[in-house]
Each structure stands twice: as C-alpha cells, then as structure tokens.
Structure 1
Amino acid sequence: MATPAEHRRRPGTSRRDRRGRGMRGRLVPATVPLSRSRAQIFDDLVLDAVEHLEPRWATQLRDVEFAVEDVPPELPSYDSDVLEDGNVPLARLLPGRDGGRGRSTPPRIVVYRRPLEARAYDRDDLADLVHDVVVEQVANLLGLDPDDVDPPGH
C-alpha cells in the first residue's frame, strides 16, 4: 500500500484534502439549479420582473437599462429617484441624459441586491419584493402610478 506521500506523487490520482474527508470541488454539478449563486438567482428575479412588464410596456422600456448592484454606493444624499426603506436605498432610477453631439445616455434602473435580500423572509418573498421595486421604479420613469404600470391581479 502506498504511503500518503507516494500517493500524492503518482500522476492521475485523485487528491484528497489534508484531513481525509474526501474530494475537494463542487458538491453540485453546474447544470443543477442548486449550483446557482444568490447573485445569479437575484439577477433572474429582476429579469422575471422586467419580462412581466414588457408585454404591456415594451415600447417605453425598449431603451431602459436594468442593472443589479450588491450594495448602494455611499453618496452624501440621494435624490428623489431613489426608492428607500428608512435610510437604506433599495433601487435607483438614473434618468437618461442628452450628452450632446447625438450621444445620449439611456435611462437606467439599478436594483440593490443585499438590502432587498435582508428584507425578504424567503425566495418567494424576495421575488415579490423585487417585482414591487422594479414596478415602482418603472412607474417613476414613466410618471405613472405603480398600479397603472402593473394592475393588481395582472
């Protein structure tokens, strides 16, 4: 039988961790939904919320960029286009700007992942919260009431 040192020297043999607990590596294959990170799941929730609104507002949302950031940036004061819970920003609407010479910046809605995750009880609650935040920001962008953007029961 090979000693641990000899076993490590042989090419093509599998490696174990120092305490002999087994192979290192992924516990779940990359193709299984369990392998998705919280950030990837959150990105999907934002996309789901946007896709829910697109059939009705496709023209208005055509040039809008949606982004996800982990935490809001530290700014001295937020403007009125920030959706807050207490003093914690949950999302921010950056209206489009004309940069001159035919260049313009499209409107952008930024959703902050960590503050929303901290307020959710479970994944379903997080999905509802993300949806509400996206609807609120789209309503701000369009100058409409959130119930007009996404009517209850729709």
Structure 2
Amino acid sequence: MARSRSAAGRVRAPRARGRDRHGRGLRSSVTGPHLPILRGRIDVFETAVADTAEYLRGQWPELEAVSFEVAGLPRTVSGPAVDRWTVLPRENRIILYRLPIERMSKLHINDEAHQRMLIEGCVLRAVGELLGRDPWDLAPDRYRHP
C-alpha cells in the first residue's frame, strides 16, 4: 500500500531531554531579561524579618547571637489562639510563623506597607519578649513621626 507524500517525506527528530513538547527548547522566565524577578509572599516576609533583625542587632548588641527563623506554622496549637512566634531564650532563637501572622491579623488597609509594619511589629514584640523589655522601646527612632 502506498503512503501519502506528506507522511513519507516527514522525518521525526529524536526527542532530546530538557526540551518541552514541541521541540522549542526550555522556556525563559515570565518576566524576561529586562524586568525584575517577581517576589512572592514568602520572599517579602523573610526580607522584612531579616531587615528588622539587622536593624535591631545594630541597636542592641546582645542580639548578635540570636537567630531569627521563619516557619510556616507552629507544630502544635496550645489553646484557642495560634502562636505568631516562639521565643527560645536558652537556645537564643526566635521563630516567627508566617501563615498566622499574614492570615490571622486584621489589617485596616491591606497593602505592602501595612503588611511590612505588621511583620516588623511581630519581630519587635518577639525580641521584647526575649530581652524582657517593652517592644516599642527597642526602636524608638524608627517609628517616631516627624
């Protein structure tokens, strides 16, 4: 039986690994080479925690040995409330829980600036708990209005 001309003249190239299904090669990032890489919620949260921790380390030398960690959720829930952070003074650790801070806090304006202030406030309260000080005395110049 004779084949049609189009089927007989077609040569299939072997599939190479690492290519997508039409042989076009790997795709580039969504933003392209000229735009900044998109930041996700996790990146924004971790950056806000790191920036606030570095600021506080500059103000309070006793925080140099303290490690600030970010976790999604606490392992256990004690009581009706969900912890936003855990302070472990013997281990010099502060663990901040991203999901309870982001989702269970009620912001009157839900924008990036207010979310960052919420995260900074949680870091300040956790450090205040660790040091036994009022959280707002830890960074008095940072939140003073001109």
Q: Do the structures match in fold with TM over 0.5?
A: yes
Partner of 2:3: none
Question: What is the letter of the counterpart of residue 130 of structure 2?
Answer: L
Query: In structure 1, what is the Cα distance between the partners aligned to 2:28 and 2:21?
Result: 10
Q: Which has the higher strand share?
A: 1
Partner of 2:44: 41
Query: In structure 1, what is the Cα distance between the partners aligned to 2:119 and 2:132?
Result: 20
Q: Aligned residues: percent identity?
A: 31
Within-5 A mapping of 1:68-147: 68-75=70-77, 77=78, 87-96=81-90, 106-118=91-103, 119=105, 121-147=110-136
Question: What is the letter of the counterpart of residue 93 of structure 2?
Answer: R
In the TM superposition, what whole-angstrom CA distance separates every residue of 1:95-116 from its partner, at most 9, and x where no partner exists? 11xxxxxxxxx31111111112
Query: In structure 1, what is the Cα distance between the partners aligned to 2:88 and 2:82?
Result: 17
Task: Give the TM-score taking structure 2 as reference length.
Answer: 0.70
Extract structure 1 runs of 4+ deviating beyond 2 A.
Answer: 4-7, 9-12, 14-17, 23-26, 28-38
Partner of 2:144: 153
Distance 1:35-1:50 versus aligned 2 partners, 3 A rule: same
Within-5 A mapping of 1:52-63: 52-57=55-60, 59-63=61-65
Mind listing any 5+ residue stretches in structure 2 that lack a counterpart? 1-5
Question: What is the letter of the counterpart of residue 12 of structure 2?
Answer: E
Give the aligned CA root-mean-square deviation in angstroms.
3.6
Distance 1:147-1:29 versus aligned 2 partners, 3 A rule: same
CA-CA distance at 1:6 after TM superposition: 3.3
Question: What is the letter of the counterpart of residue 88 of structure 1?
Answer: V
Task: Give the TM-score taking structure 1 as reference length.
Answer: 0.67
Q: Which has the larger radius of gyration?
A: 2
Instruction: Select 2:31's aligned residue among 22, 28, 32.
Output: 28
Partner of 1:83: none
Partner of 1:65: 67
| Aligned length in residues | 132
CA-CA distance at 1:150 after TM superposition: 1.6
Query: In structure 1, what is the Cα distance between the partners aligned to 2:67 and 2:120?
Result: 16
